[in-house]
């Protein structure tokens, strides 16, 4: 009891900055609470985020604002079909003065990266980015450089205009911890956005958190208590994506090509802990699991042709699973 009370108090103390951060970002970003919260979740879990939404939904602004609020370096890379891996990671430049090669680091050397329209670049560029995401280091020539922490890649995909794109392979999509879908703001929110932009009274973002606070929070999050009932619940959800018939979801079996990987289980557990942390709790409740479940699983469940023919998406499959698997 004392342990959990102490942990709860510690979490409440350590997580205080999240409210401050969300408040500061909220000054610039109207609405899009889910997106901003998921960005923070990615930062806290040391995971990367795949963002899907039509253009003009403040994706760039959100990550730029977040970078400013945590005093981190931000870079935006527009992915195009003629982009080369060297444009991303950097290259060796010959210095005529010294008659030697020197390293010129690419834009990936930043804390927060916005890889805009990642599916417009060919596979070798995507691969270079995904490798950097995984390894957190870059090798240029014979020298290896570690990427500075926190390192968060926010890749965007445009759901429309799929002509001439290079869709990310499933194995690489799995490397993104979360896939967040952004919708349009509400009428009231859009009215506020309109007034704010026309009036030119967009408040300047101040740095409210140090990157070190984020790194510290990452260790605290791992201490958030997760009961074995919650662990079983997470396993039930992930296993229901693989063996739906075992969870009274036989109707989903022909619709799922393959379900969540063990990486999905790890991500779901970690994201649930981080969500509890943002909610300033020292323990995970089923609400936390359900809150992040869609973002963790939607890109990890591959639907069959039959599902596509019936317009069944992975979203609906997750809804069915959440509405069938018993909550502890």
Q: Let me know: does 284 contact 230? Beta carbons within 8 Å.
A: yes
Residues 296-325 binding another protein (CB under 8 A) are 319, 322-325
- H-run or E-run covering 34: helix 33-45
Q: What is each CA distance from 243 to 44, 251, 252, 321, in whole angstroms?
A: 31, 11, 9, 11
Residue 153 is encoded by which pair of tokens? 């890649």
Q: Does 29 bind another protein (CB under 8 A)?
A: no
Of the candidates 52, 322, 43, the one whose C-alpha atom is nearest the C-alpha of residue 180 is 52
Counting contacts by CB under 8 A, is residue 22 touching another protein? no
Instruction: Decide: 111 and 76 in contact? Cβ < 8 Å.
Output: no
Asked whether position 116 contacts another protein by CB under 8 A, the answer is: no
Size of the site for another protein (CB under 8 A): 35
Quote the least distance from Cβ 103 to another protein, whole Å: 42
Of 108, 155, 110, 103, nearest to 128 by C-alpha is 108
137-140 and 302-303: which strand pairing? unpaired
Should residue 185 be labelled a site residue for another protein when binding is judged by CB under 8 A? no
Nearest to 35 by CA among 168, 217, 184, 196: 184
Least distance CB 315 / another protein (angstroms): 8
Closer to another protein by CB, 38 or 64: give it.
38
- Stretch of 59-67, 170-178, 192-200, 283-291 contacting another protein, by CB under 8 A: 283-291
Q: Which of 291, 307, 312, 317 binds another protein (CB under 8 A)?
A: 291
Q: Does 239 bind another protein (CB under 8 A)?
A: no
**Is 19 a binder of another protein (CB under 8 A)?**
no
Asked if 203 contacts 296 with a C-beta cutoff of 8 angstroms, the reply is no
Cα radius of gyration rounded to whole Å, the chain: 21
178-181: strand order across its sheet: 74-78, 112-116, 152-157, 49-52, 178-181
What number of other Cβ atoms are within 10 A of residue 16's Cβ? 12
Q: Does 292 bind another protein (CB under 8 A)?
A: yes
Lay out the site mask for another protein across 196-235 (x = CB under 8 A, - = otherwise): -----------------------------x-x-xx-----
262-278 vs 2-14: helix crossing angle, rounded to 10: 80
- Candidates 108-116, 140-148, 168-176, 181-189 — which segment interacts with another protein by CB under 8 A? 181-189
Among residues 182, 220, 268, 297, the one that binds another protein under rule CB under 8 A: 182
Of 287, 306, 308, 310, which one interacts with another protein (CB under 8 A)?
Answer: 287
**Least distance from C-beta 195 to another protein, angstroms?**
25
Among 110, 282, 301, 303, binds another protein (CB under 8 A): 282
- Could you tell me the two tokens for 192? 């506020």
**Which residue lies nearer to another protein by CB, 31 or 106?**
31
* Binding of another protein by 328 (CB under 8 A): yes
**Under the rule (CB under 8 A), what is the footprint of another protein?**
1, 3-4, 8, 34, 37, 181-183, 225, 227, 229-230, 275, 281-287, 290-295, 319, 322-328
């Amino acid at each position: 009891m004392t342990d959990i009370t102490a942990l709860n108090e510690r979490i409440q103390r350590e997580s205080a900055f999240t409210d401050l951060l969300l408040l500061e970002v909220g000054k610039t970003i109207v609405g899009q609470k889910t997106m901003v919260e998921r960005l923070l979740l990615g930062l806290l879990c040391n995971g990367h985020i795949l963002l899907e939404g039509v253009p003009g939904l403040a994706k760039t602004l959100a990550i730029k604002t977040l970078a400013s609020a945590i005093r981190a370096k931000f870079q935006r890379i527009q992915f195009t079909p003629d982009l080369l891996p060297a444009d991303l990671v950097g290259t060796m430049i010959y210095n005529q003065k010294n008659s030697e090669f020197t390293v010129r680091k690419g834009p990936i050397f930043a804390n927060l990266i916005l890889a805009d329209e990642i599916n417009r670049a060919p596979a070798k560029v995507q691969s270079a980015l995904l490798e950097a995401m995984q390894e957190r280091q870059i090798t240029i020539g014979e020298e290896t450089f570690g990427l500075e922490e926190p390192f968060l890649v926010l890749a965007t995909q445009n759901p429309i205009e799929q002509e001439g794109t290079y869709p990310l392979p499933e194995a690489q999509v799995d490397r993104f911890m979360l896939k967040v879908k952004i919708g349009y703001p509400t009428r009231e929110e859009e009215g506020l956005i309109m007034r704010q932009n026309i009036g030119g009274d967009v408040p300047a973002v101040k740095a409210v958190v140090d990157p070190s606070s984020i790194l510290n929070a990452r260790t605290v999050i791992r201490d958030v208590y997760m009961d074995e009932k919650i662990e079983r619940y997470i396993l039930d959800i992930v296993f229901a994506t693989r063996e739906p018939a075992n969870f009274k979801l036989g109707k989903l079996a022909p619709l799922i090509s393959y379900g969540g990987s063990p990486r999905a289980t790890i991500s779901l557990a970690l994201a649930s802990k981080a969500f509890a942390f943002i909610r300033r709790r020292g323990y995970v409740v089923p609400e936390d699991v359900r809150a992040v479940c869609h973002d963790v699983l939607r890109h990890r469940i591959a639907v069959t042709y039959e599902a596509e023919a019936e317009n069944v998406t992975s979203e609906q499959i997750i809804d069915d699973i959440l509405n069938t698997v018993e909550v502890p």
